[in-house]
Structure 1
Amino acid sequence: MANIKEVASLAGVSVATVSRYFSAPEKVSKKNTDKVIKAIEQLNYKPNLLARNFTQSRSYSILVMAPLANPFLLDVIQGIQEIARIKGYTVLLVDPLEAPDDENKYYSMLETRLVEGIIDFKVQKRLNKKHGTRIDNIVTLCDYVENNPSPVVTVDDVKAAEKLVDYLVSLGHRHIGCLTGLDFIHATHHRKLGYQNALQKAGLPLSNKLMINGDFSVTSGLNAAKEYADMQPRPTAIFCMNDKMAIGIIQGLKAEGLRVPEDISVVGFDDIEFAKYCDPPLTTIRQPAKELGSSAMKLLCNLIEGKFDPETVLRPYFLPTDLIVRGSTCAVK
């Protein structure tokens, strides 16, 4: 079994640098960090992290609470893991949707120091608190409300949805449907507001008949397709609040004998991997998935290490989005 001296020798750094990588990785330069990581992988080195954690009275673990069935979040989680690895943290993943009654138990892990911080994909008003200059080690990711009780990293769903619907309006669409997401998800309300803002800006009427409730699943897209196909007048474009529903609605519209985009243009939101491979490829909003994850993990590390400004830390960190135009949209015929 390899030892720390062999790691240092292969990496071309001192034993102290390797030791510092495990005890205080933020103090090691990126160049040396990359060397140490490469040497560890080549030698399959297994440090005694239990001894380190016991000596320092730290767990070096963080908890990520995420709905793991969402394909968009897989890249977000990868971004979290990349930074956690550099910083020397172990990532524990749990899906709160599988056991919603266990959420308090998960948060108690922070109070008992079994984990040093939590990244939660849902705002937890009842548990996140500010104590003077101390902020609980909790970061909210991809969710946001006004006066968010913890630091948050996300995108501006209102502006992103508005940008997407603006694009449909620019193509001449005046009768635009909206397939919404789950009502208890804040992003649903934000994206709905962006949709409404774009219509109002274009002088187009708001119609509840054009809005169908979905649940972010492919199946809800399939089900909504028949409703839209039977509408009179039928919408010329449909804004879906995520890509999975958009992929479902495209398949459903085809089953109803309609062409996408010639008869109905369809847009999604997220730019998951499958979006560019569906038929036709999906026009959508691209969220910077890995950057969202890495930014959240960097922010959490700053909270844990006390490196934050208490006056600004609760301001939301909005990352930019991009409009990705593909074959599922066209100008009104």
Structure 2
Amino acid sequence: MARASDGRRVTSADVAREAGVSRATVSYVLNDAPHQKIPDATRQRVWEAAARLGYSPSAAARSLRTGRSDIVLGLLPDWPIEHVLGRLIQQLTNAFAEHGLTFVVHSSAHPARPLREIWKAMTPAAVLALQEFAELEAEAMRAAGIEVVMAMHGSIRGVSRPPLVSEQPIGALQARHLVATRPHRRLGYAYPDLPGLDNLAQPRLDGVRKACAELGLPEPEVRTVPLDADSAAEAVRAWRAADPPVTGVCAFNDDVALALLAGLDRLGLRAPQDLAVIGVDDITHAALAQPPLTTVNRDTAAIARGMARRVVDALEGRETPADAVQEELRVSARESA
């Protein structure tokens, strides 16, 4: 906290004296008040005075003036915050900043504080939920004037809404790419060994199933694949021993796909000759794998902009569309499939 020379906290009155303007002018300039015709030179003088004194407007005072904070609270499930999720958080931070909002995340990973304590302490303008939570909790937030936007499956004021981001097209694209690159009699799906990822894994699997039906292939054989080579090798053995044998696998993400490549190596086998593998996310290690991993590349920047737009629309009282945020999916084709 900035202090004046006599030890007091620096106030807007100090900035006004330093800049030779009124306190009202300081307030208008630092809070970017609309419809105020203040000369650019005066604005510059105020900003320079505030910078010299180390003064910034009080967030609490700004909340009282505008009737809301500038915080959007992001609720994260108990997911590993790495790779794509980390990138999405950064891009959401940037996307909200373009609207003058601050994005703050809270993970539900144990032993996190209860959600009710978090939002009551922060009083955010809105909550962007990447996880499901009790409707009573959502109603309590709304009663406190907080907008609630469900990014995953959930309901808004009791009306069920689809997720903001659809995962089904990812699985469908994986299956179609495998079949387009080489003949396959049956596909497998490598499910993650983490229950918290079901909201993502299940719709991706549904996409694979739908594509297989459209392509005239039998139901994909689903196996849970932990992130270690021995367990992945067991899954590979089972797929190859199936009737008909599985010749291509759609993995939940690149981490699971890399485990499969390690499992193949453990058995003295190789992709794609013995089993084609395709992942999701195009993480850094995908291109460095042996063989380099074919994967689905997501447009997380478009996802972040779309989510931020839905939150801003809700804050400004505009009707939000029920359809999913649009993103462009593409395959980074390499040697594993």
Matches within 5 A, 1:237-276: 237-276=248-287
Taking structure 1 as reference, are residues 163 and 130 closer, same or farther at Cα in structure 2, changes over 3 Å only?
Answer: farther
Query: What is the RMSD of the two structures over their aligned residues, measured on CA atoms?
Result: 3.9
**Which residue of structure 2 aligns with residue 85 of structure 1?**
97
Matches within 5 A, 1:89-104: 89-99=101-111, 102-104=114-116
Local SS of the residue matching 1:318: coil
CA offset at residue 240 of structure 1? 0.6
Taking structure 1 as reference, are residues 87 and 49 closer, same or farther at Cα in structure 2, changes over 3 Å only?
Answer: farther
CA distance in 2, matches of 1:52, 1:146: 31
CA offset at residue 315 of structure 1? 0.3
Taking structure 1 as reference, are residues 316 and 104 closer, same or farther at Cα in structure 2, changes over 3 Å only?
Answer: farther
In the alignment, residue 309 of structure 2 is paired with which amino acid? K
CA distance in 1, matches of 2:230, 2:163: 33
Q: Does structure 2 retain, via aligned residues, the 8 Å contact 1:222–1:245?
A: no
Q: Does structure 1 retain, via aligned residues, the 8 Å contact 2:125–2:146?
A: no
Aligned match for 1:225, one of 225, 233, 250: 233
CA distance in 2, matches of 1:304, 1:151: 20
Local SS of the residue matching 1:317: coil
CA offset at residue 218 of structure 1? 3.2
In the alignment, residue 78 of structure 1 is paired with which amino acid? Q
**Which residue of structure 2 aligns with residue 167 of structure 1?**
177
CA offset at residue 280 of structure 1? 2.5
Q: Does 1:283 align with 2:270?
A: no
**Which residue of structure 1 aligns with residue 325 of structure 2?**
318
Q: Does 1:204 align with 2:204?
A: no
State, as a whole percentage, how many aligned pairs show the same letter. 18
Q: Does 1:191 align with 2:201?
A: no
Matches within 5 A, 1:106-117: 106=118, 108-109=119-120, 114-117=123-126
Ranges in structure 1 where 5+ consecutive residues have no aligned partner:
9-13
Which protein shows a greater Rg?
2
CA offset at residue 205 of structure 1? 1.9
Q: Does structure 1 retain, via aligned residues, the 8 Å contact 2:306–2:326?
A: no
Taking structure 1 as reference, are residues 240 and 46 closer, same or farther at Cα in structure 2, changes over 3 Å only?
Answer: farther
CA distance in 2, matches of 1:18, 1:104: 36
In the alignment, residue 189 of structure 2 is paired with which amino acid? C
Local SS of the residue matching 2:164: strand
Ranges in structure 2 where 5+ consecutive residues have no aligned partner:
3-9, 20-24
Taking structure 1 as reference, are residues 222 and 268 closer, same or farther at Cα in structure 2, changes over 3 Å only?
Answer: farther
CA distance in 1, matches of 2:210, 2:304: 29
Higher deviation after alignment, 263-272 or 320-329: 320-329
The aligned length equals 295
CA distance in 1, matches of 2:276, 2:167: 21
CA distance in 2, matches of 1:123, 1:316: 18
CA distance in 2, matches of 1:177, 1:146: 33
Q: Does structure 1 retain, via aligned residues, the 8 Å contact 2:147–2:314?
A: yes
CA distance in 2, matches of 1:289, 1:169: 26
Matches within 5 A, 1:40-189: 47-50=56-59, 51-66=61-76, 67-99=79-111, 102-106=114-118, 108-109=119-120, 114-124=123-133, 126=135, 127-128=137-138, 137-141=147-151, 143-144=152-153, 149=160, 152-154=163-165, 156-170=166-180, 171-181=182-192, 182=194, 185-189=198-202
CA offset at residue 131 of structure 1? 12
Q: Does structure 2 retain, via aligned residues, the 8 Å contact 1:212–1:224?
A: no
